[in-house]
């Protein structure tokens, strides 16, 4: 184990989490995204895949949430596989799992099993409903989690049903990012004087509810109406929303402050005829006026009109259009690695720059490598069976890096198919996994 730590210390610094070791028990959705975020920040993330395990319904080489990671193949239902997984956690700082409550315990890799062997371990659990509560053992997906928190009920027009915001709000904002916050906080504690690991219970319902804190305060103060499209920030305000252009495109308007609104009205050409923006009774008239003006020109024409102004207006772009936006292109917000255009790691760091050093790890491609680097001899027998897996290359290469632009010199670095919903299946503990996307 000491040799493994020495090898880790010799690794080049690739982000602020360089030297942190993470074991990810393979899943889909928010868990892999959280692990990708840690890997993007420099952590050495080893994903424990299982033969025939569930994944995104796309080829492995396109699953960007597995970039910057390494993968080993282990069968956690097998005693040897379980012991090898525990040997990995002995050498890890963090473990991430996304099973339903009780599944990890049945597999023998629960918090008690792991923390008894590695008391400084951060044991991070990602679920939709949380480890406790009436729905804790029930299956679910993003849309259900954000539904019960009130977040889904805020999206969409006043007439008609709420609009699902993809799975960004629940899975990734309320789930993955809160899991990362929990991991980093617990890791800070574990590296403090007490040297104490702990369990992080990250539930999408908790994180999504937390995201609504400001609006809950406004609601309590009487400054928010508890219905869709009736408020300043939910499309109820005519100068905070989207408008169609003559070519079928859309422009986004966020001219909330008076001085920004004045610039917006002037460039749109409605300053002389628009009713006072403070007159809520005239908001319907103002909305119609704004809509008519935007409908008179194309998206490109309006983009040029507002370009460089403080009117707070932007074109609504598609996913394929976004990387070419001049500002995003100048910042390098997107990059290309192995032929895949993808978002660059975020945020950016002046002293410990990040980058994409390897494409998505294919299952089992790094079993022998991790056995050596982490000093886990019991992984070596698995390497032969993993050798038939398509090679993803070295997840910690010495060239071919796609780096994030910034001020610091760049170190040249050397979901979907839902898993089964069945709860009561002791013969196959994986059937209790939590689909969370």
> Is pLDDT above 50 for 428?
no
Per residue in 9-34, pLDDT tens? 555 668 999 999 999 999 999 999 99
Q: What is the pLDDT of residue 403?
A: 62
Nearest to 150 by CA among 79, 208, 85, 71: 208
- Average pLDDT over the chain reads 89
- Report percent pLDDT > 90 for the chain: 81
Sheet with strand 250-254: strands edge to edge: 240-244, 250-254, 313-315
> Is pLDDT above 80 for 8?
no
Q: 421 falls in which pLDDT band (50, 70, 90)?
A: very low
Mean pLDDT of the 128-154 span: 98
Bridge partners for 70 per DSSP: 46
Bridge partners for 318 per DSSP: none
Per residue in 179-198, pLDDT tens? 999 999 999 999 999 999 99
Per residue in 232-275, pLDDT tens? 999 999 999 999 999 999 999 999 999 999 999 999 999 999 99
Least confident of 48-62, 204-218, 225-239: 48-62
Nearest to 356 by CA among 63, 38, 67, 1: 67
Q: By the 8 A CB rule, do 343 and 322 touch?
A: no
Secondary structure of residue 45 in the 3-state scheme: strand
Q: What is the pLDDT of residue 386?
A: 52
Sheet with strand 198-203: strands edge to edge: 69-73, 44-49, 21-25, 94-97, 122-127, 198-203
Q: By the 8 A CB rule, do 89 and 121 touch?
A: yes
Per residue in 351-396, pLDDT tens? 999 999 999 999 999 999 999 999 999 998 655 555 544 444 444 4
Quick one: tokens of 153? 């009920």
Q: What is the pLDDT of residue 11?
A: 59
> Is pLDDT above 50 for 322?
yes
Least confident of 115-129, 320-334, 417-431: 417-431
> Which residues are catalytically annotated?
141, 171
d(CA 132, CA 7): 40
Q: By the 8 A CB rule, do 198 and 123 touch?
A: yes
Q: 7 falls in which pLDDT band (50, 70, 90)?
A: low
> Is pLDDT above 80 for 413?
no
The model's pTM is 0.88
In 176-276, where does DSSP find H-type helix? 177-190, 204-211, 213-220, 258-268
> Is pLDDT above 50 for 47?
yes
Domains and CATH numbers, the chain: 21-223+345-379 (3.40.50.10540), 240-330 (3.30.1540.10)
């Amino acid at each position: 184990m000491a040799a493994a730590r020495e090898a880790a210390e010799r690794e080049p610094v690739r982000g602020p989490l360089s030297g942190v070791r993470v074991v990810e028990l393979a899943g889909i959705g928010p868990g892999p995204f959280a692990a990708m975020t840690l890997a993007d920040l420099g952590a050495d993330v080893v994903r424990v895949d299982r033969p025939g395990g569930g994944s995104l319904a796309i080829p492995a080489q396109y699953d960007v949430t597995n970039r910057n990671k390494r993968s080993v193949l282990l069968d956690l239902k097998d005693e040897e596989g379980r012991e090898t997984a525990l040997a990995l956690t002995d050498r890890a700082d963090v473990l991430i799992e996304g099973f339903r409550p009780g599944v990890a315990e049945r597999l023998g890799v629960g918090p008690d099993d792991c923390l008894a062997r590695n008391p400084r371990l951060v044991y991070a659990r990602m679920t939709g409903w949380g480890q406790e509560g009436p729905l804790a053992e029930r299956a679910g997906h993003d849309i259900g989690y954000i539904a019960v928190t009130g977040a889904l009920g805020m999206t969409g027009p006043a007439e008609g049903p709420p609009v699902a915001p993809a799975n960004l709000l629940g899975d990734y904002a309320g789930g993955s990012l809160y899991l990362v916050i929990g991991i980093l906080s617990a890791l800070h504690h574990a590296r403090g004087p007490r040297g104490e690991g702990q369990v992080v219970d990250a539930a999408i319902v908790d994180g999504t509810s937390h995201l609504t804190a400001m609006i809950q305060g406004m609601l309590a103060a009487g400054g928010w109406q508890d219905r869709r499209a009736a408020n300043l920030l939910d499309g109820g305000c005519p100068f905070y929303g989207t408008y169609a252009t003559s070519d079928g495109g859309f422009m986004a308007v966020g001219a909330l402050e008076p001085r920004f609104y004045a610039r917006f009205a002037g460039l749109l050409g409605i300053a002389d005829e628009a009713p006072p923006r403070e007159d809520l009774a005239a908001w319907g008239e103002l909305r119609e006026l704004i809509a008519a003006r935007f409908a008179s020109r194309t998206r490109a024409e309006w983009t040029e009109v507002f370009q460089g102004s403080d009117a707070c207006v932007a074109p609504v772009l598609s996913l394929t259009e976004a990387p070419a936006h001049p500002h995003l292109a100048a910042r390098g917000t997107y990059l290309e690695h192995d032929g895949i255009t993808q978002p660059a790691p975020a945020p950016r760091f002046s002293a410990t720059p990040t980058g994409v050093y390897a494409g998505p790890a294919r299952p089992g491609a790094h079993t022998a490598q991790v056995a050596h680097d982490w000093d886990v001899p019991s992984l070596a027998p698995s390497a032969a069976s993993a050798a038939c897996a398509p090679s993803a290359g070295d997840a910690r290469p010495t060239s071919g890096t796609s780096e994030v632009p910034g001020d610091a010199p760049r170190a040249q670095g050397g979901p979907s198919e839902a898993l089964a919903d069945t709860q009561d299946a002791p013969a196959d503990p994986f059937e209790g996994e939590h689909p969370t996307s």
